[in-house]
Amino acid sequence: MLKTLSLSLEVLKMFTKDKPTWGGRELATALNQNHTKIYRILETLEGHDFLTKDTETKKYALGIAIWELGNTVANNFHINELVQPILEKLSENTNESAFLTVLDGEEGLTFAAVEASTTVRFSVSVGSRTPLHAGASYRSILAYMSPTFIDNYLTKAITKYTDKTMVDPQMIQEDLMKIKQQGYAVSEGEYTEDVIAVAIPIFHKETVIGSITISGPKYRIQAEDIEVFIKELTQAREELHASVPVTTQLLSNEQCMNR
């Protein structure tokens, strides 16, 4: 199966600016592959709109699905230009790390981050993934998923990362209800020891697509700080939503592409 996938990707790479169309036999010869195998791959790619076939010449060209993916990639190059200043302001106002997470299947993907300028700070790795039950950043997303999604998620094995990771389905359900009631999530040491996180969800057309989080070392964050963080997070979310359909639409596109 992996060999077929690899060959399929090689087929797609053959469609270039200099050579935008290919016939099946012509392509098989160029790749030194069996004609039947290449035709099967071409038909599959056509069926998923990655290729389109000219009914007269019988030649193939790149399809609309490639255009959609390319457009998403092009957009992603400037998403950070929109998001980063908001996170920088959030981090500066709170003196803690700030990051944006997008939903990717049953995980949260760290999409953009700004670390605090202090010597002791919570380090955030852009591109890291975390299950949706572990910590404020991720449960603030899970809380707004459909009941069916949540039920299905909680029937699977729930990983425990620290002694404070919430793993009991009933406890998680109760916390999700609390998050929806108050509109934000708070966690302490659930994914990383001695780290407190405060997060609120972000939406596109009333559908949750991710979250914004402030996090820092436990010893530095007091109860009164959390109230300030919530206000700062709410302001940051308003700035994100104010750029609709630009920022949240692009983040929604990113979520769909990751799925």
Q: Give residue-wise pLDDT tens across range 134-190.
A: 999 999 999 999 999 999 999 988 999 999 999 999 999 999 999 999 999 999 999
* pLDDT averaged over every residue in the chain: 87
Q: Which domains does the chain have, with CATH numbers?
A: 2-71 (1.10.10.10), 78-258 (3.30.450.40)
Q: What is the pLDDT of residue 143?
A: 97
Question: How far is Cα 63 from Cα 129, in angstroms, rounded to an integer?
Answer: 31
Nearest to 214 by CA among 233, 239, 187: 233
Question: How far is Cα 215 from Cα 95, in angstroms, rounded to an integer?
Answer: 10
What's the pLDDT tens digit per position in 38-77?
999 999 999 998 999 988 899 999 988 887 787 666 556 5
Q: 240 vs 174, which has greater pLDDT?
A: 174
With a pLDDT cut of 90, the percent of the chain lying above it is 60
Q: What is the pLDDT of residue 232?
A: 96
Highest mean pLDDT among 20-24, 54-58, 240-244: 20-24
Question: How far is Cα 213 from Cα 138, in angstroms, rounded to an integer?
Answer: 9
